[in-house]
Amino acid sequence: MIMKKETPGQNPPDLTVAIGGLVLKNPVMTASGTFGYGEEYVPYCDLNRLGAVVVKGLSLEPRLGNPPPRIIETPSGMLNAVGLQNVGVRAFLSEKLPFLRRYDVAVIANIFGETVDQYRRVAHILSGAAGIHALELNISCPNVKKGGVAFGARPEAAAEVTANVRAETDLPLIVKLTPNVADIAEIALAVEEAGADGVSLINTLTGMSVDIEKRIPHLANVTGGLSGPAIKPVALRMVWQVVHAVKIPVIGIGGIMTAADALEFLIAGARAIQVGTANFVRPSATMEIIDGISDYLTRHGLGSIDKLIGSLNTNPSNGD
Amino acid sequence: MIMKKETPGQNPPDLTVAIGGLVLKNPVMTASGTFGYGEEYVPYCDLNRLGAVVVKGLSLEPRLGNPPPRIIETPSGMLNAVGLQNVGVRAFLSEKLPFLRRYDVAVIANIFGETVDQYRRVAHILSGAAGIHALELNISCPNVKKGGVAFGARPEAAAEVTANVRAETDLPLIVKLTPNVADIAEIALAVEEAGADGVSLINTLTGMSVDIEKRIPHLANVTGGLSGPAIKPVALRMVWQVVHAVKIPVIGIGGIMTAADALEFLIAGARAIQVGTANFVRPSATMEIIDGISDYLTRHGLGSIDKLIGSLNTNPSNGD
Amino acid sequence: MPEGSSVTTGEILDNRMVARDHFLMRVFLPLSFARPLPGQFVMVRDCRLSGPLLARPLSVFGFQRRPDHSVMELLYRVAGRGTSLFSRMKPGEGLCVLGPLGRGFSIHADVKRIVVVAGGVGIAPLSFLVDEGYRQSPSLEKRELRVYLGAGTEELLTCRERLSGVCDLRICTDDGSLGYRGPVTGLLGEELHEFAAEDTAIYACGPTAMIRELGRLLRNSPLRCEVSLEERMACGVGACLGCAVAVQNAAGRREYRRVCHDGPVFDLREMIFNGS
Amino acid sequence: MPEGSSVTTGEILDNRMVARDHFLMRVFLPLSFARPLPGQFVMVRDCRLSGPLLARPLSVFGFQRRPDHSVMELLYRVAGRGTSLFSRMKPGEGLCVLGPLGRGFSIHADVKRIVVVAGGVGIAPLSFLVDEGYRQSPSLEKRELRVYLGAGTEELLTCRERLSGVCDLRICTDDGSLGYRGPVTGLLGEELHEFAAEDTAIYACGPTAMIRELGRLLRNSPLRCEVSLEERMACGVGACLGCAVAVQNAAGRREYRRVCHDGPVFDLREMIFNGS
Ligand SMILES: Cc1cc2nc3c(=O)[nH]c(=O)nc-3n(C[C@H](O)[C@H](O)[C@H](O)COP(=O)(O)OP(=O)(O)OC[C@H]3O[C@@H](n4cnc5c(N)ncnc54)[C@H](O)[C@@H]3O)c2cc1C
Ligand SMILES: Cc1cc2nc3c(=O)[nH]c(=O)nc-3n(C[C@H](O)[C@H](O)[C@H](O)COP(=O)(O)OP(=O)(O)OC[C@H]3O[C@@H](n4cnc5c(N)ncnc54)[C@H](O)[C@@H]3O)c2cc1C
Ligand SMILES: Cc1cc2nc3c(=O)[nH]c(=O)nc-3n(C[C@H](O)[C@H](O)[C@H](O)COP(=O)(O)O)c2cc1C
Ligand SMILES: Cc1cc2nc3c(=O)[nH]c(=O)nc-3n(C[C@H](O)[C@H](O)[C@H](O)COP(=O)(O)O)c2cc1C
Ligand code: FES
Ligand code: FES
């Protein structure tokens, strides 16, 4: 538990972090698909205080999504099979982005395609729009039939889609990785070489749940993506592996509910973090996490978050 | 919740299942590494009632294991990095097996090597011993430097070790798979072709946890294996995938705490299940699970467990 | 998001069983908690975070404003882990309340006859509708209010006292232990000819099978009917797209709406039922 | 596994704060629960399974057999999620108890002088040792019993009443707010010359730093010393190998023992300390 210890007269610690050319006022973002297009959380959360808002995955055309039921709770987690329902990139620009632009917050567009060409075209459309600060390439969504995870599971395919989008845009480019692979560091390296400015991980682990009374899957889609505290240890391990494999910034995602969770990722080397499922449970989770990180730095006498990032000592000579 | 509804005069349902040539009185086994060598649980649990006991992983020579701390709790799960500490296969036969042989329970030896040759030699030693009913090849332990997961991550390596052990033994041969791969069905197919009589899955997911106050990993080994309810959705999904890929029996493992959890796996197509972390939480978990499965079958008018296994309807025409 | 929704810590005043498996919880709330409309709901969880991960949606069953606080009533049936945990919560304990959420029932000024169709705990939002929408407004006193209240058996019935006296209450039980023997939609079907489309509005909430049957009953009827739907929810505010329900849009095409944000109250005519 | 260990549902009789962050819980147990030996422990959890996944190890702090039941006392410090949940449990609630577990302290007949060294909540098993092993057996009445009891500050001290009168109690606080200013091992070090190996036995429990310092103090001393160790546990019964501690075996080689099964009480001389 983090106690607030006031040190009057002291400057608040510097929380600024940079991902490629994008400078964020703090390392706390909302994860794609868990924060709508921002509007939904305005009553509970001050968007101006966030490091960035990553919007729900956008595709070239609107998508209907999967039939219900789409979610089911699991121990310390949830499965979802929303199936990337979204209004499409053009409707996003005309109907959703204007609202977000009223706030002083970096907007990161999470994008998705069924083909390399679709990724490229979505990226092209977004690059021409004012008010988009970076792109996050979702090559890791497990809940759609075509594309998505197919690109994320093999280094060659991941590199190909990254390089194609890279050629299309000058925006900072983040590639979001799937954990459903044997060696995530290999994929991270491939997208780094293909021109990514950062990687974010993890997307959801593929899971399943069965209704034993009806003997049917709990999700109409049969399988879904597991998120929430349950996956945090896996996410943290992967972040740590990728931090040691690549030079570009790593954004940690997976089961972050509290400042303590966020600090685990930052200490392990993540430059920033994203909060997903926690928004559902406590709509003010991001606010508490920002405050908690700041308090921790103050309490430990660290003037800036740079001193914390990657400070994990994996070889303590005299631990107990 | 499963309610006990007594139907007087009715025969108890038939719980017998077969894995290769091995016939078990019910599908409930204890998972390797979570039940010691059986002795530890005698005060709490009637070994005679178990389908099988899978003993702690055995290697050719005794192994010291990893330095502490070796475990840490996580949301709905735990990480362990025991590092396959064990007395070695010969001491097992002389010091531990005689105790287990006093019970009417199938004993499955979980074995582990750093080289194919070590696997082969351990299998050879065990095949000559009376009182071993099957072998479970651990090609999936993430907590050791050499061997283990290296064999489990690639289909060719998995097939090689399986074929070599197959040539050495007539005992039913189960291969235990790691979930830390992109396509577990591919590995399952490879070991089926190499002569396995069954596959068991999943072993632990590799994870990590950080002590934010000391800024050191919670485990001396840095990473460890995640087990418990947190991983159940992933385990169930993988079991379902493998059931559809291979013809040999599949044994479901991962986060099974209650009869309801076990039933999810059986309905998804697992022929049997193993109970791991639950033993720590409720030493009588296996007993409650056996009773619960039996009650469920009675309540649903299913005379034998065969009617339940694989009965999942993934295409309900008219849900809820 | 609806006007004035917030995250509030309420305090349980009491929490008692009112019928088999059914509990009534009364929650003390600060005045900052906005007045809910009938049909709106709240996402609630134990403040200690010791229960399930996600909050659970419950309809507002009653709401009273006092000089310095408000009291919200929740009527819930123990269905699984979350609600069973609620049933064990004690007075004085903290309940985290997100809300009020969603779009409630439409209240029509021109309607003379209100017909309420409730299956099981589906009475919760409807009883609040009766309270707020019709009973408490004096100008509407002369409306006719008929309530079809159904349950599996007598022991599972709730709200009888609350409703009797203020409405024409017609009880249905599947086993005939009280009132009409059979589902509410059975009795409603027999009496449907009594209602005219011009002056009647039907409001319904209950199990999916009941809603589906209602859809069948009213398929060729001009009677207006609003239903409150249930679907599993994660966020409750429209962000996760988890609570999708299939509807027919104005253009006649199938699309998904969010029960939490576009509902939970929908026009019965928009609904597309499973298997069709 | 020790004789007579079982899984039992106890009922909390009371559970109150006895010092800052420290609670004393009294648990009603059936007679089937075996009498624990000093130094043994139990694995406990909230029966509702609403807390953390794993049970938490706590030493037996007191145990009284009554005609038709037993009462077990647990003294615990709120250290994290599990113990904080315990601190909120109320009388009447069920506590799942696995135990008694482990190997307790050895009680020597030839010993005249008992020296107890307790850091913080480490007093829990030692106070029970004083109770059971020495105070209650009349033949041992004439033994000298000296207790070094340490804590960070006066407010964190527990067991003063329980111990004063029955022993020569020497209190140490890090900040000097009561008794000796400094760690227990500081005062013990100053007084170590008073003890002779033939007739003295030392028993210790406390934070790792204290145990390590004790190891240093007694490195060249012939005094016998038993320490009760703590390590994170999953099973508590010797099955998971999670609670390993490094010891030097008879052949002088490093190996791992299980705190839960081979301990929690070990001979100080066997220990290998981290970093060495
Ligand atoms: C807008 C809305 C208003 C509601 N109002 C009330 C109310 O006033 N009183 C009341 O008793 N219940 C109400 N419900 C239903 C209630 O939310 C569920 O019964 C509850 O979430 C079940 O949680 P659980 O953890 O107890 O059960 P679980 O263990 O999660 O599930 C038990 C069973 O309930 C089903 N279920 C789970 N979540 C929901 C859900 N959100 N909606 C419907 N079924 C679900 C599951 O599929 C399963 O069959 C409402 C639901 C919605 C969406
Ligand atoms: C044999 C034995 C007897 C014990 N007897 C007592 C007792 O009588 N009274 C008492 O207050 N405590 C006792 N402990 C320590 C107690 O078990 C831990 O404080 C408790 O498990 C912490 O759980 P938590 O969920 O509150 O904290 P967590 O959130 O799990 O951890 C909080 C802190 O405590 C440390 N910790 C966690 N588990 C243990 C553990 N098993 N041992 C030591 N440190 C741990 C963690 O590393 C962390 O720094 C005993 C431990 C053992 C092994
Ligand atoms: C309901 C839901 C919808 C999601 N939609 C998307 C999406 O559109 N694009 C994407 O890249 N990730 C999506 N995700 C994944 C999250 O952004 C995040 O990677 C994952 O949930 C793990 O983080 P968490 O444990 O904090 O939730 C979604 C997750 C959830 C729960
Ligand atoms: C402490 C511990 C030790 C384990 N040791 C072994 C082992 O020696 N060999 C093996 O194949 N699996 C081992 N496992 C993995 C389990 O057998 C099982 O596959 C895994 O824990 C998932 O099941 P669960 O969630 O029910 O625990 C171990 C697991 C734990 C928790
Ligand atoms: S519950 Fe999240 S959109 Fe409705
Ligand atoms: S806690 Fe499992 S062996 Fe000690």
- Main-chain phi, psi angles of C228, to 5 degrees: -100, 125
Average pLDDT over residues A102-123: 94
Judged by its nearest atom, the ligand closest to the C-alpha of residue B257 is 4
Map B204-237 to HEC letters: CEEEECEECCCCEECCCCCEEEEECHHHHHHHHH
pLDDT band (50, 70, 90) for residue B4: very low
Using CA coordinates, name the residue in chain C closest to A36.
C239
CA neighbor of D125 nearest in space, from D199, D36, D190, D213:
D36
* Atom 23 of ligand 1, residue of closest alpha carbon: C82
Q: Return the higher-pLDDT residue of B320 and B252.
A: B252
> Across the strands, what pairs with B109?
B135
User: Hey, are the CB atoms on A264 and B209 less than 8 Å from each other?
Assistant: yes
Residue D140 predicted with pLDDT over 80: no
Q: Nearest 5°: phi and psi at A132?
A: -100, 125
pTM for this structure?
A: 0.95
- When pLDDT is averaged across residues C192-215 and rounded to a whole number, the result is 91
Q: What are phi and psi of A63, to 5 degrees?
A: -125, 140
Mean pLDDT computed over A153-169? 94
Evaluate the omega torsion of the peptide bond into residue A155 and state whether it is cis, within 30 degrees of 0: no
Q: Is the CB of C122 under 6 A from ligand 1?
A: no
| Shortest-distance atom of ligand 3 to CA A256 | 26
A202 CA → ligand 3 middle, Å: 9
pLDDT in tens, A54-83: 999 999 999 999 999 999 999 999 999 999
Paired tokens of A279: 């928004």
Measured in Å, residue D232 CA sits from the centre of ligand 2 at 7
Position B40 confidence tier, pLDDT thresholds 50, 70, 90: very high
Nearest to A317 among D208, D212, D275 (CB): D275
- The least confident of D30-39, D134-143, D190-199 is D134-143
- What 3-state class would DSSP assign to C95? strand
Three-state DSSP string of B240-291: HHHHCCCCCCEEEECCCCCHHHHHHHHHCCCCEEEECCHHHHCCCHHHHHHH
Do the Cβ atoms of B320 and C274 come within 8 Å?
yes
Q: What is the pLDDT of residue D109?
A: 75
Give the whole-angstrom CA distance, residue A272 versus residue B274: 39
For residue B42, give the chain D residue with the closest CA: D1
CA distance A204 to A33: 11
Domain architecture of chain B: domains with CATH: 17-313 (3.20.20.70)
Separation between Cα atoms, residue C242 and residue C263, nearest integer Å: 13
Residue C81 touches partner D, C-beta closer than 8 Å: no
DSSP letter assigned to residue B93: I
Q: What is the mean pLDDT of residues C107-111?
A: 79
What is the structure's pLDDT at D276? 40
Annotated active-site residue A141? The verdict is yes
Given this model, what pLDDT does residue A145 score?
52
| pLDDT score of C3 | 64
Are the C-beta atoms of C15 and C27 separated by less than 8 Å?
no
Q: Which ligand is nearest to the CA of B80?
A: 4
The reply to whether residue D235 touches residue B280, judged by beta carbons under 8 angstroms, is yes
- The per-residue pLDDT for C95 is 95
Ligand 5 atom index nearest CA of C234:
1
> Can you tell me the distance from the alpha carbon of B30 to that of A146, in angstroms, rounded to the nearest whole number?
39
Q: In the prediction, which pLDDT does D136 show?
A: 59
Ligand 1, atom 10: nearest CA belongs to which residue? Answer: C76
Can you state the angle between helices A285-299 and A259-267, rounded to 10 degrees?
A: 60
The b-or-e profile of A302-319 (16+ CB within 10 A means b, else e) is eeebeebbbebebebeeb
Q: Which among D62, D61, D4 is positioned nearest to D31, based on CA atoms?
A: D4
CA distance C145 to C134: 9
CA nearest B281 in D: which residue? D54
Of C53, C232, C254, the CB nearest to A228: C53
Ligand 2 center to C13 CA (angstroms): 35
Ligand that comes closest to the CA of residue C79: 1
Helices A116-127 and A155-168, packing angle to 10 deg: 30
Chains contacting D (3+ CB pairs below 8 angstroms): A, B, C
pLDDT-derived band at B316 (thresholds 50, 70, 90) equals confident
- Give the 3-state secondary structure of residue A61: coil
Check residue A67 and give its pLDDT.
Answer: 94
State the average pLDDT for chain D. 90
The single-letter code of the amino acid at B211 is D
Asked whether the predicted pLDDT for residue A211 surpasses 80, the reply is yes
Q: Which residues contact B15 (CB under 8 A, 6 or more apart)?
A: B25, B26, B27, B290, B293, B294, B297, B304, B305
ipTM above 0.90, yes or no: yes
> For residue B317, what pLDDT is reported?
58
Q: Across all residues in chain B, what is the average pLDDT?
A: 92
What is the percent of chain C where pLDDT is above 70? 94
Q: Looking at the predicted structure, is the pLDDT value of residue A13 above 50?
A: yes
Does B209 sit within 8 Å of A316, measured CB to CB? no
Residue D9, CA distances (Å) to C146, D46, D81 in order: 51, 10, 21
Q: Which 3 state secondary structure label does DSSP give D170?
A: strand
CA distance D124 to chain C (A): 28
Q: Is the pLDDT of residue B46 over 70?
A: yes
**Which position among A141, A158, A190, A257 bears the catalytic label?**
A141
Closest Cα in chain C, distance from residue A245 (Å)? 33
CB environment C7-21: b (16+ within 10 A), e (fewer):
bbebbbeebeeebeb
Active site positions of B, annotated: 141
Does D233 sit in the ligand 6 pocket, CB within 6 Å? yes
Q: Which residues contact A319 (CB under 8 A, 6 or more apart)?
A: B214, B216, B220, D274
Q: Are the beta carbons of D209 and A318 separated by less than 8 Å? A: no
Asked if residue D246 lies in contact with residue D208, where contact means CB atoms within 8 angstroms, the answer is no
Q: Is the dihedral of CA D20, D26, D27, D31 positive or negative?
A: positive
- D131, pLDDT greater than 70: yes
**CA–CA separation, A234 vs A105, rounded Å?**
29
pLDDT band at C256 (very low <50, low <70, confident <90, very high): very high
Residue-range domains of chain C with CATH: 6-101 (2.40.30.10), 113-230 (3.40.50.80), 231-276 (2.10.240.10)
* D85 inside 8 A of chain C by CB: yes
Q: How far is C48 from chain D (nearest CA, A)?
A: 9
CB B268 within 8 A of CB B239: yes
Q: Say if residues D136 and D167 touch (Cβ distance below 8 Å).
A: no
Q: Which of B74, B261, B317, B320 to mutate to test the interface with C (most CBs of C within 10 A)?
A: B320
pLDDT of residue D273: 75
The mean pLDDT value for B95-116 works out to 94
CA distances from D89 to A46, A309, D93 (A): 36, 38, 7
Rounded to the nearest angstrom, the minimum Cα separation between B135 and chain D is 20
Closest of D184, B223, C59 to residue A244, by C-alpha? B223
- Between CA D26 and CA D22 the distance in angstroms is 13
Q: Is the dihedral of CA B125, B128, B132, B137 positive or negative?
A: positive
Q: What atom in ligand 2 is closest to the CA of residue B218?
A: 47
Beta pairing partners, D200 = D113
Tens-digit pLDDT profile for residues B59-88: 999 999 999 999 999 999 999 999 989 999
What is the predicted pLDDT for the residue at B3?
Answer: 46
Interface residue of C46, C47, C48 to substitute, partner D, most D CBs within 10 Å: C48
Query: Residue A4's pLDDT is what?
Result: 46
Report CA Rg, chain A: 19
Residues 6+ apart with CB under 8 A from B120: B113, B164, B165, B167, B168
- Interval D175-225: pLDDT, tens: 989 889 999 999 998 888 888 888 889 999 999 999 999 999 998 889 999
* Ligand 2 atom closest to D60 (CA): 8
Q: Which residues of A touch C241 (CB under 8 A)?
A: 33, 56, 65, 70, 82, 85
Rounded to the nearest angstrom, the gap between the alpha carbon of residue D193 and the centroid of all alpha carbons in its chain is 25
In a 3-state reduction of DSSP, which class is residue A26?
coil
- Looking at A248-287, which runs of residues are DSSP E strands? 250-253, 272-275
- Between vectors from CA A90 to CA A129 and to CA A147, what angle results, nearest 5°? 105
Average model confidence (pLDDT) for chain A? 92
DSSP lists the bridge partners of residue B175 as B137, B199
Give the mean pLDDT of D121-145: 78
Per the CB < 8 A criterion, the answer to whether B236 and B254 are in contact is yes
- From the list D1, D49, D242, which residue is nearest B71 (CB)? D242
**A266-277 exposure pattern, b = at least 16 Cβ within 10 A, e = fewer:** bbbbbbbbbbbb
Write down the mean pLDDT value for chain C: 90
Q: Which ligand is nearest to the CA of D242?
A: 6
Say how many CA atoms lie within 13 Å of B168 toward its Cβ.
23
Structure confidence at residue A143 as a pLDDT band (50, 70, 90): low
- Chain C residue nearest residue D93, CA to CA: C88
Q: Which of C 49-78 lie inside 8 A of D, CB atoms?
A: 50-51
The pairing of beta strand D62-65 with beta strand A134-138: unpaired
For the purposes of burial, counting CB atoms within 10 Å of the CB of D207, is it exposed (0-12), middle (13-18) or buried (19 or more)?
middle
What residues in B contact A180, CB-CB < 8 Å? 182
pLDDT tens by residue, D92-121:
999 999 999 999 999 877 788 889 999 999
Per-residue pLDDT tens digits for B110-131: 999 988 999 999 999 999 899 9
> Does C256 contact ligand 5 (Cβ within 6 A)?
no
Query: Is the CB of A219 within 6 Å of ligand 3?
Result: no
Minimum Cα–Cα distance from B240: chain A residue:
A208
Asked which of A5-9, A225-229, B96-100, B275-279 is least confident by mean pLDDT, the reply is A5-9
Within 10 angstroms of residue B123's Cβ, the number of other Cβ atoms is 24
Atom of ligand 4 nearest to the CA of B277: 27
pLDDT, residue A1, reads: 42
